[in-house]
Structure 1
Amino acid sequence: MAYLRVYEPLSTFGDPPPGPLVKAVKDTRLTSGMAGEREHTMWIKSQVSTPVRLLPAELANGRAAPSTATDVLVLDPAEVPGETGPGPLVCPLELRARSAAALISFLDDAPPALRSAVGTATGFTPDKARSRAGAALGNLPKSAVHMLTTTWTVPLPWFALVDPDQRRLELGDGQDDPRREMSWRVAMRDARRRVTEARELVGRTLGESGPARILTETERWLTNFDPGSAVELDYGGLVQLITDADLESDTSAEEVHSILAALRSGNIERLAELFDELRGYWNTIAAREHAN
């Protein structure tokens, strides 16, 4: 799973911020590399509990578990290129709320037989599940979750937000090393400027669907957060699927910015070449979904 995260200044969470959150920010040892494992653990716990929980990080009565206030990632503004802060910068995992949003989407899109099977397994009718998920989203302290996720791939428009030269690469001691990381960090003001420029350019040259739609949705999402925030694009668990050599030679961010440059100059031949290269690379990774 790959992530696009927003870290907001702690001061934006309240005046003063809630005591449990302040303590969690001070004491947290959770890193971005550990976040996926933490989420996996919470999912497993929700399914082996008695009774089974509809959502992870939730108590049997449907209320949020205490961990929803303490599962946070923290950055120092000094760790982010550009102007951010004041620090510390905080990204709540918000696993319960993100799972609730995914559940509502599933209930809207899944065939009736599949919805019924899930209801039988969890003991919740679709209407009750939708009501419980809606309540979980209503408990969010902000109007949007601080994290977007995708499985098996990274949406190429996301690379438009970052500076390719600011890549953070940690190979660790192999593909299973939890320290393994590939990510970029960018100040919110720079991310908003880049996504707006890319959205206008792509919409003008390629139309409003496809990549332009993703850029529009991303731009709209970013407006929910404080201008002093930081944005992080993180390959997350995808680094466990990619060899050291392929990670080191990954030029996806550079190629997306080259695509934008080709659109500006009208270099159609170069544009097609770059699209083919990127499509081949990410299709190879995404194809692993069918083998799992």
Structure 2
Amino acid sequence: MRSVTVWRTTVLPPYTAQLRVYEPLAAFPEPDRARWQARAAAHGPDAEGPDRPVTAAALAEQRAALAELAALTPRPLPEQEDGRAYLRLLDGVLHVCPWTTRLRAWQALQELQRTLPAHLVDTVLPPALRAAAEAGRAHWQQEHPDARPWIASSRWEVPLHWFLPFGEEDRRHVPAGEYGSSGEDERPEPAALFYLTPMAQARRRVARAYRVLRERTPGGSLADGAEEVGRWLEEFHPRSLVELDYGGLARLLGPRALAEEHSVGELADGLGALRAGDAAAALRAYERLTARWRRVLALRQAS
């Protein structure tokens, strides 16, 4: 297999981070297994080894979404799943993270209705279109009651509980243009910051964090977030990989801030202080992290 290493587009990643699960190919039923195996054989995986990002494939997904919106009849919600996936090859095993674009579009629609005033939602997506989308989702869920996305997305920030499955040793920072081939029509890939860890390790870290948060800060938002991400991870194969990809947030933060970004380690230090009974040190670490990500989140209001 050969690795996909280049991108040929002026599209830049949106300011969105993703939390992904890659299950081993053997965990999937046919014909999905054969299709993804054939794609990897023909085109190579999107990333080979633990140090490579899947930036090129993420940009391909973004291009596909923009093409849908730019059509003569815009389709904000896909009519069917496209069957695409991120493919990672690690230690000779192909791991697959399906895009499930249609399912994630339904979830994005629900989030849109929760976060925007009704008149703005009606402008973006007319009521008739939303009603049709909801009817389609209800019918689809009857046929797929156990469906769940392999990808969670967050715009303009990384939720603090997303850091819990990872350790500093999982950190991979790739400056802009450091990887990828060169050629007449090829452009250097943007900077990447991502964490990649085995599922077993991710579950242990989240469970350990949840125990101390439940004991020392019951009812806190971070404890609730730990429970949420822990339940989600339990849905997948135990030999999966878990990845936190800063995506377009890497460009938003800028080269210096990205190189200095160690929220995973800082949160781990805060939890260690909480576990040791040093509530003041734990609070300082938590306040530093929340203040930093509030500043990043505030950039969405900048013009």
Give your verdict on TM over 0.5. yes
Q: Could you give the per-residue CA deviations for residues 49-78 of structure 1, whole angstroms, max 9, x where no partner exists?
A: 2322131xx3xxx334xxx21x22122233
Query: Which residue of 90, 99, 102 corresponds with 1:93?
Result: 99
CA displacement at 1:201 relative to structure 2: 1.1
CA displacement at 1:24 relative to structure 2: 2.3
- 3-state DSSP of counterpart to 1:158: helix
Is the alpha carbon distance of 1:162 and 1:267 closer, same or farther for their aligned partners in structure 2, counting shifts above 3 Å? same
1:3 counterpart residue number: 18
The alignment status of 1:281 with 2:295, answered yes or no, reads no
The alignment status of 1:72 with 2:85, answered yes or no, reads yes
Alpha carbons 1:33, 1:181 under 8 Å: kept: yes
- 3-state DSSP of counterpart to 1:227: coil
More helix by share: 1
- 3-state DSSP of counterpart to 1:144: coil
How far apart, CA to CA, are the structure 2 residues paired with 1:138 and 1:152? 33
How far apart, CA to CA, are the structure 1 residues paired with 2:301 and 2:189? 24
Alignment of 1:236-247 (within 5 A): 236-247=247-258
How far apart, CA to CA, are the structure 2 residues paired with 1:241 and 1:96? 27
1:194 counterpart residue number: 205
Please list every run of 5 or more consecutive structure 1 residues that lacks an aligned counterpart in the other structure. 79-85
- 3-state DSSP of counterpart to 1:54: coil
Please list every run of 5 or more consecutive structure 2 residues that lacks an aligned counterpart in the other structure. 1-15, 48-53, 179-186
CA displacement at 1:4 relative to structure 2: 0.8
CA displacement at 1:268 relative to structure 2: 2.1
Alignment of 1:241-256 (within 5 A): 241-256=252-267
CA displacement at 1:141 relative to structure 2: 10
Alignment of 1:21-100 (within 5 A): 21-26=36-41, 27-28=43-44, 30=46, 32-55=54-77, 58=78, 62-64=79-81, 68-69=82-83, 71-78=84-91, 87-100=93-106
1:147 counterpart residue number: 151
Alpha carbons 1:101, 1:133 under 8 Å: kept: no
How far apart, CA to CA, are the structure 2 residues paired with 1:116 and 1:95? 22
Query: Which residue of 21, 29, 33 corresponds with 1:14?
Result: 29
CA displacement at 1:41 relative to structure 2: 1.7
Alpha carbons 1:2, 1:151 under 8 Å: kept: yes
The alignment status of 1:227 with 2:238, answered yes or no, reads yes
Query: Which residue of 156, 168, 193 corresponds with 1:164?
Result: 168
Alpha carbons 2:190, 2:251 under 8 Å: kept: no
- 3-state DSSP of counterpart to 2:147: coil
2:128 counterpart residue number: 124
How far apart, CA to CA, are the structure 2 residues paired with 1:274 and 1:107? 34
CA displacement at 1:249 relative to structure 2: 1.8
Alpha carbons 2:157, 2:297 under 8 Å: kept: yes
1:82 counterpart residue number: none
Alpha carbons 2:193, 2:247 under 8 Å: kept: yes
How far apart, CA to CA, are the structure 2 residues paired with 1:134 and 1:164? 41
How far apart, CA to CA, are the structure 2 residues paired with 1:241 and 1:106? 22
Alpha carbons 1:5, 1:147 under 8 Å: kept: yes
- Could you tell which deviates more after superposition, 280-289 or 30-39? 30-39
Alpha carbons 2:45, 2:88 under 8 Å: kept: no
Alpha carbons 2:97, 2:150 under 8 Å: kept: yes
Amino acid at match of 1:180: A
Amino acid at match of 1:114: L
Amino acid at match of 1:225: F
TM-score (structure 2 length as normaliser): 0.80
CA displacement at 1:101 relative to structure 2: 1.5
